[in-house]
Homo-oligomer: A and B are copies of this chain.
Amino acid sequence: MRSDKNFQRRRRITAIDVAKAAGTSQSAVSRAFTANSSLSKDLRERIITAARELGYRPNAIARSLTTRRSRIIAVVMSYLNNQFYPDVLEKLLDRFQKADYQILLFTSERSGLSDPLFEQIMRYQVDAAVLASTALSSRLAGECRAAGVPVVTLNRTIDDPDISSVTGDNQRGGYEIGRFLSAAGHKNLGFIAGIKQSSTNRDRELGFRQALREAGMPNPQYALGNYSFDETVKAARHMLSQHIRPDGIFCANDHMAIACMDVARYEFGLNIPKDLSIIGFDDVGAARWKAYDLTSYSQPIEMMVDNTFETVMALIEQPEQPARHLVVPGKLVVRSSARLPLS
């Protein structure tokens, strides 16, 4: 043991110390800190008292070797600059912490990991993995599942129907946005897409196009924003410079809609919604900021996180149960960035 006046490193109290103090065995100490284990009431109390006096803390990591439960959930998330994800993360943390699980956080695309993400996740013997917003979802989900780690994708579905997912109602949302814009008498609509191969973008676009077809409108003008602010700035510039300028644009998320509004107002001098309607998706906090006051289709984060939590718990208990695919309904939140339907 080292000790100096600036620093003291306490020796960690072990189960052996507690066993000695309580006059019992190490295995009894271990059982005293395990729910539903057999131990006389007297002995348990003697152990707990000794543990408290010594400042003993059961070591979650040592325990995970015997229980094969680490009580760690891996969460993989990119795009933290899109406010939707920090909000999701905050609620996930809250929900899992309350159930005495901890979150080991990983980013993917931009991380430059020396090992593949899968290897990193496996090393920590996580009880389950939640994959949100990562382009690696498909491969990673398959690898985790094959290794016996339950997986839930959040705000994404992947091709494998055996991987559970929780999403907002993307297709319905895109559809309602299309109906809202066509009912307001817009003539030329545009769509600024997120990442093309993401399920969120695909489903939102699908619903949007369906509504336009039903209303007898032509296909929307199309540009790719890739869920990136800077790329959306370029996409909006391109779209608004066309000979026939759209009078309404659906951006596949709010983060892109905000970029699009800035370009329309400050580079093209357009009045929103008089000259141009803009609608987003997610209903993030910034959609409520008065400078944007963005009409958007909501993704109820709390309910999505609750469903994710429950699915993860169910899969930890019974890994072989059939996958769940939960779609959480949202609603169109009408603010002032888009013209209202003609009545």
Listed in ascending order, the chain A residues whose CB lies under 8 Å from chain B are: 2, 4, 6-10, 12, 57-62, 64-65, 70, 72, 80-81, 83, 85-87, 89-90, 93-94, 97-98, 100, 102-107, 110-114, 119-120, 122-125, 145-148, 162, 229, 258, 261-262, 265-266, 285-286, 289-292, 319-320, 322
Contacts and interface: CB of A to CB of B under 8 A. Distances in A.
Nearest to A259: B289
Q: Which 8 A-B residue pairs are closest in the complex by CB-CB distance?
A: A291-B291, A9-B148, A60-B123, A80-B86, A262-B290, A86-B86, A266-B290, A7-B320
A206 B47 CA distance: 52
Contacts of A112: 94, 97-98
Q: Most chain-B Cβ atoms within 10 A of its Cβ — which of A70, A86, A261? A: A86
B107 A105 contact: no
A67 B55 CA distance: 22
The main secondary structure of chain A at its interface with chain B is mixed
Contacts of A114: 98, 100
Given A81-B90, A98-B114, A104 B146 contact: no
Given A65-B61, A291-B291, A102 B80 contact: no
Contact of A97 (B72, B111, B147, B286): B111
B107 A90 contact: yes
B319 A9 contact: yes
Nearest to A85: B86
Given A113-B97, A290-B262, A102 B120 contact: yes
A14 to B, nearest CB: 11
Q: Most chain-B Cβ atoms within 10 A of its Cβ — which of A6, A105, A125? A: A105
